[in-house]
Amino acid sequence: MKQALLYDFYGELLTEHQKQIYEDVVLNDYSLSEIAQDRGISRQGVHDLIRRCNNILEEYERKLRLLERFLQVKQLAGQIDSLIDAYKLERDEELLTKIGELTAQIREKL
């Protein structure tokens, strides 16, 4: 799953050849042998290219941290949804304060 998310964020930074093979392995779940046969390259060549792509995508994430921030915002948004549901039931003003605090945290991440 992490590979697919990294690809969603940084896949456009790969070459067209890298994107095609990476998509076949990670997103389309083709075997290395199937891809090697279709592309006329060795199974080891496909394996090496996938490993190289993974390293490239991980390096982008280490530098830019877009996925990390996305996951943090997603978690905070989930907490806000839960607090809103609780507020609808209880009408507790403290919950509104917590919602405001979480919203501010999301703004900081963006």
Instruction: Give this prediction's pTM.
Output: 0.76
Rounded to the nearest integer, the mean pLDDT of the chain is: 90
| pLDDT, tens digit, 9 for 90 and up, residues 56-69 | 999 999 999 999 99
Nearest residue to 9 (alpha-carbon basis) of 70, 73, 77, 74: 70
CA 109 and chain centroid, separation: 16
pLDDT of residue 83: 82
CB 86 within 8 A of CB 95: yes
| pLDDT, tens digit, 9 for 90 and up, residues 21-72 | 999 999 899 999 999 999 999 999 999 999 999 999 999 999 999 999 999 9
Name the band, by pLDDT with cuts 50, 70 and 90, for residue 96.
confident
